[in-house]
Structure 1
Amino acid sequence: TSISTCRDHKFFFEFLIRLQKISQLGWPEIRTAPRHGFGMESISVDQIKPQLPACITPDVRKLHVFRATGDNHPFIGLQIDRIFRVLFIEANFGDIYDHE
């Protein structure tokens, strides 16, 4: 199931709450927080299954992964200066990238 067919309102509510909490942190706090908490980790663009949007130019090699919900579903994006652009939200594990 892709995010476009996900109808789980609880998932999206939890994602918005989590996004609000993350947005209250500064980048230094985010970078030192645990990756399964409010921190982030990097992922190679080669690992992303869907087609990347046009704003991801060939010089971009890695994207940032945050947890969208408390059960570790990720959302993926790119930090450009102080702005974080959300590119993908994974409603079902494996939709965006393979998990180990």
Structure 2
Amino acid sequence: MSGRSVKKGKRPQNSGNVLAVETKTTTTAQNNVKFCLNHMQSGFSVEDLSKEARAEFAMALFKRRGMTWTEIQQAPKHGLGSEKMPASSIRAAIPRVFGDVENFLVLRYSGLLPMAGVRVGDVYHIVWLEPQFGDLYDHG
């Protein structure tokens, strides 16, 4: 046994999920982005992409896995950054759960092809992946 003294008492409860442990002083802007695919819409999901686009989507998530929201906001919008898209510009059906969202957050997954969704805290809920340029909204 080491020479350190060990205090006895109640141990903190561990849920078994490492991700559940966060400090209360950390703001979400400094946390790494997390991705949710639960709300993807038919016609604009991973299964609607070509094999190459699926691989590019996976790489886009992989590249951003260690980025904070601040870093994503500061990156170029046509690179690893983001931009806001008014809900009125989205051509696809908006899921009821996001019916009150005024602006969706757009990130690029393959060149100029966007993924669009909603940021809630640290989590980016991806709703649409544009399979063909111009299908999701007018790129002007």
Q: TM-score, length-normalised on structure 1? A: 0.89
Give aligned-pair identity as a percent: 29
Whether the 8 Å CA contact 2:77–2:83 is kept in 1: the answer is: yes
Separation (CA, whole Å) in 1 of partners of 2:82 and 2:49 = 26
Separation (CA, whole Å) in 2 of partners of 1:41 and 1:87 = 15
Give every structure 1 segment of 4 or more consecutive aligned residues whose post-TM-superposition deviation is greater than 3 Å: 2-7
Corresponding residue for 1:74?
Answer: 114
Q: Match for 2:91 among 46, 49, 71?
A: 49
Question: Per-residue deviation at 1:84?
Answer: 0.5
1:63 aligns to what SS in structure 2? strand
Q: How does 1:1-100 map to 2 (within 5 A)?
A: 2-3=43-44, 6=48, 8-58=50-100, 60-69=101-110, 71-100=111-140
Separation (CA, whole Å) in 2 of partners of 1:7 and 1:97 = 17
Q: Which runs of 5+ in 2 are unaligned?
A: 1-42
1:55 aligns to what SS in structure 2? helix
- 1:68-89: per-residue Cα shift (whole Å, max 9, x none)? 11x2100000000111100000
Q: CA RMSD in A?
A: 1.5
Q: TM-score, length-normalised on structure 2? A: 0.65
Aligned length in residues: 97
Q: Which runs of 5+ in 1 are unaligned?
A: none
Which of 1 and 2 has greater Rg?
A: 2
